[in-house]
Amino acid sequence: MRARYTQVSAAVLAAALLASGCGGDGGGDGTEVEVFSWWTGGGEEAGLDALIERFEEDHPDVEFVNAAVAGGSGTNAQAVLEGRLQSQDPPDSFQGHAGAELQDYIEAGYLQPLDDFFDEQGLQEAMPDQLTEQITYEGSVYSVPVNVHRSNVLWSNPGVLEEAGIEESPETLDELIDALETVEQETDAIPMAVGAQWTVDHLLESVLLGSLGTDAYNELWEPGADWDTPEVTEALESFEQIMEYTQEESAAEDWQEASRRVSEGEAAFNVMGDWAAGYFDEVGATAGEDYDWAPSPGTDGTYMWLSDSFTLPEGAPNEDAARSWLELVSSAEGQDLFNPVKGSIPARDDTDPAAYEDSAYLSEALAEWQDEPELAGSFWHGVTVGNRWKNDVDTAVGLYLGDGDLGTLQESLHEAAQAE
């Protein structure tokens, strides 16, 4: 067996980012707009660049300040952002995942409600009811979704699978574990590529969904949910088996490196959201040759979803310019510029399907979303739980990666649910 994943703490990096984080000049004269995100690589950076280019064309007198912070699927950026908000130094708009992730900011009074903006732009009619319901908190909307992502995707390298004699993508967790063992025995490739610790949290949620099923998975994220069950134990045991086939050096890498390993044939599999499709397109990888995809094992028919969105902070120095930014990202034109590049589908129902035809993955994902699949919210990407619960899970996973104690992991996950 390959050596298990080894942990490298991100605490020092996050602390350094928090200490060094600073905003724009805050002049408040409306001649700039500072937008804060964690889109710094792959298709997500390219998608942001496409929006910035259009914004600058439409608003040549407004300087766009790209305040993106790299690393940790937003973990590092959120640490910097929290420091700025507490210091009353907000950006003009910041990225967040739609759903429970934003509740802490709302309750702290950091965000302006956007009900008037939604009415002005006709967004209640343009977006699916299930999406606007998810981003509504105590009767008001506080963010503007730019996309919908699927979290539960198993990416694979066709050449590696052919070399290993694996004819089809595994459909169950047992089949996946068998395939990982076969890759280990028959090839020199890494069976399952992972990256920094957050990618392991991301893998965990797909394993839980694949083992428990949609309803039981969703119930796990209700406050006080019972994680101390044989079914959860079985799911975690599958997770542990899968982790035995990951590479040792992965903790120093982010998701792009894990995806690259798949497309270049260094790894057989990777579980990652469909933003990987944008990355593969950006690096020139060819669907069906360099990479392929399927629902993560055990999750066919379920869309584990998340949505990126943008906000309007209280005290935004350049509120008019920020609203102009929100108009772009919420528009059909803006979403059709952004999503085909990022590797996601639009939050609006009235965008142009032809914009997604060049991507085999996106055209398939859009059709499946429109067929109204079962839905499971991504915990790591902010749909089902707030930051405290998410951080408790991340801490438990980090300790597990250090000591390998599966029983303690399950106990810690149970305690995290009881604390809510």
What would the CATH number be for the domain defined by 11-148+307-371?
Answer: 3.40.190.10
Examine the pLDDT at 4 and tell me if it is beyond 70: no
What residues are paired with 376 via a beta bridge? 304
pLDDT, position 115: 97
Can you say whether residue 309 is alpha, beta or left, with left for phi > 0 and alpha for psi between -120 and 50 degrees? beta
Residues of the chain with CATH 3.40.190.10: 11-148+307-371, 153-298+386-418
What residues are paired with 94 via a beta bridge? 36
pLDDT, position 387: 87
Which of the 8 DSSP states describes residue 296?
A: P
Can you say whether residue 198 is alpha, beta or left, with left for phi > 0 and alpha for psi between -120 and 50 degrees? alpha
Average pLDDT over residues 1-9: 44
CB contact at 8 A, 352 and 336: yes
**Confidence bin at 132 (pLDDT 50/70/90):** confident
pLDDT tens by residue, 142-180: 999 999 999 999 999 999 999 999 999 999 999 999 999
CB contact at 8 A, 40 and 284: no
pLDDT tens by residue, 268-283: 999 999 889 888 988 9
What is the enclosing helix (H) or strand (E) of 338? helix 332-342
Examine the pLDDT at 25 and tell me if it is beyond 60: no
Interatomic CA distance for residues 358 and 395, integer angstroms: 40
Q: Which of 285, 289, 265, 267 is nearest to 276 (CA)?
A: 285
Quote the longest CA-to-CA distance of the chain.
63
Interatomic CA distance for residues 363 and 370, integer angstroms: 11
Which of the 8 DSSP states describes residue 111?
A: B
Interatomic CA distance for residues 147 and 98, integer angstroms: 10
pLDDT, position 44: 84
Strand spans (E) along 54-135: 63-66, 93-97
Examine the pLDDT at 284 and tell me if it is beyond 50: yes
Task: Please count the helices (runs of H) and the strands (runs of E) in the chain.
Answer: 19, 14
Interatomic CA distance for residues 176 and 337, integer angstroms: 36
What is the enclosing helix (H) or strand (E) of 277? helix 275-282
Fold of 153-298+386-418: D-Maltodextrin-Binding Protein; domain 2 (3.40.190)
Strand spans (E) along 136-254: 136-137, 140-141, 144-145, 149-150, 153-156, 190-192
Average pLDDT over residues 103-116: 95
Average pLDDT over residues 57-64: 97
pLDDT, position 362: 92
Percent pLDDT > 70 in the chain is 92
Q: Tokens 């990225």 identify what position?
A: 95
Q: Which of 386, 381, 377 is nearest to 134 (CA)?
A: 377
CA distances from 334 to 251, 281, 346, 348 (A): 35, 19, 10, 11
pTM for the full predicted model: 0.82
Interatomic CA distance for residues 73 and 308, integer angstroms: 12
Average pLDDT over residues 225-231: 98
pLDDT tens by residue, 327-363: 999 999 999 999 988 889 999 989 999 999 988 899 9
Interatomic CA distance for residues 96 and 90, integer angstroms: 14
At 32, list the tokens.
């700039």
